[in-house]
Structure 1
Amino acid sequence: MTNRRIDRFRRATLAASSLSLLACGAFACSSPQREYTVPRSLCDITVPPRLTEKLLVAGKELHVRLEDKTLNKSFQHCWVSVDGEEVLSVSREWHSGRDIPQVVALQSELDVGSLRGEDDFQYGERGAVKRVVCRHPRQEDWSLFVITQVRGSQEPTVSEIKRFTATYAKAVEKSKQCDR
């Protein structure tokens, strides 16, 4: 009698497993995959793909677009989209006489109250702002800032956003934009 119960239990378990496999095949139960290659640079700034991928969503196609509204490299915005949805933006912006809270207030996706950090680097769950240290800025009262904004459904950790932004800012320090 005990053996019959065990046999019925095994058959029921096997049947349930088979049904769940069939259902997943029909309804795509597997987690979404990243089918694109994560770039080695974002808008001419080199950053390790392992840091960038933490801020991206799965999908088929990735597109990176540089926008410079001022045509003099004062406000460069790097837009990253996956399958047509903007999921990340990284901006490089020159500001005169502004500090981090003032720059944060200009960003639509960042909440000043949720950011933490020090005077030259603040970060939170949806982005970060970091002042870039330029050795030879052309004008004394101007500062260059890197602004990272996570715009998609991805949920990177604060430390991943912080690490990406710090690395990106370090690369901007070595770029021609820092010499404005």
Structure 2
Amino acid sequence: MRLLPLAAATAVMVATAAGCGDSAEREYTVPSSLCGIHIKTATLAPLLPPGKRVSVEPDTPVPDAIATCEVAVDKKVVLSVERERREPGAAARDIAVDQLSAHDPKSAAARTIAYTDAVAVSITQCTAPDVVKEDISTVIRVFEPGHKDESALKDLITEYTEVLKTSSPCEVKSG
């Protein structure tokens, strides 16, 4: 007979806890573009937290060399993207470890991608005869309260890099 009141109390606590979770919903539309690169919202969504408003703020700290943008949810930066032109021969894993202090990143796409649950790096090589010989590195970082997710970040950097390649990011030789 004592189990019935305990079961009823447990059911009430579970229902109450479930009701509390409803307040943490995504009220904004997930962006479909990062730094001018179109991405599927389903690829970006797992990394973004609940909130009311989202903004994507582009910035170009060094014109024609570095492009950045930040994704903020309720005015808190949760994700950033940085593209940088580099000398040829850069390795995604080296950038992740040496410059971003990533611990034991995994590799993908013939080692042109390195990623963890919070940072991902890709290298796009510019090797065509009519372009400047250089690499373009892309770095995506996830910050709290964004959701760190190794698989989702790998998917995002992979998709972002593939779309970047189709946008002709390499600088055409002059003259």
TM-score range relative to shorter protein = 0.7 to 0.9
CA distance in 2, matches of 1:22, 1:164: 35
Task: Give the alignment partner of residue 70 of structure 2, picking from 61, 69, 79.
Answer: 79
Q: Which stretch of structure 1 is more off in the superposition, 14-23 or 115-124? A: 14-23
1:115: which partner in 2?
Answer: 105
Flag structure 2 segments of 5+ consecutive residues without an equivalent.
Answer: none
Are residues 1:94 and 2:88 paired?
no
Q: What does the per-residue CA deviation read over 1:46-89, in whole Å, with 9 as the maximum and x for residues that have no partner? A: 010000011111111111011101122x1111100111111111
Flag structure 1 segments of 5+ consecutive residues without an equivalent.
Answer: none
Change (3 A) 1:122 1:11: closer
Instruction: Give TM-score scaled by structure 2 length.
Output: 0.80
Count residues in correspondence: 167
Change (3 A) 1:10 1:51: same
Q: Is the 8 A contact 2:131 2:171 kept in 1?
A: yes
Q: Is the 8 A contact 2:80 2:141 kept in 1?
A: yes
Instruction: Give TM-score scaled by structure 1 length.
Output: 0.78
CA distance in 1, matches of 2:89, 2:125: 14
Structure 1 segments, 4+ long, off by >6 Å, are none
Q: Secondary structure at the match of 2:151?
A: helix
2:136: which partner in 1?
Answer: 144
CA distance in 1, matches of 2:88, 2:3: 73
Amino acid at match of 1:50: A
CA distance in 2, matches of 1:47, 1:29: 29
Which protein shows a greater Rg? 1
Are residues 1:13 and 2:7 paired?
yes
What percent identity do the matched residue pairs reach? Answer: 24
Q: Which stretch of structure 1 is more off in the superposition, 165-174 or 125-134? A: 125-134
1:60: which partner in 2?
Answer: 52
Query: As a proportion of its length, which structure holds more helix?
Result: 1
Q: What does the per-residue CA deviation read over 1:3-32, in whole Å, with 9 as the maximum and x for residues that have no partner? A: xx2xx543453355346645776xx34462
Q: Secondary structure at the match of 1:178?
A: coil
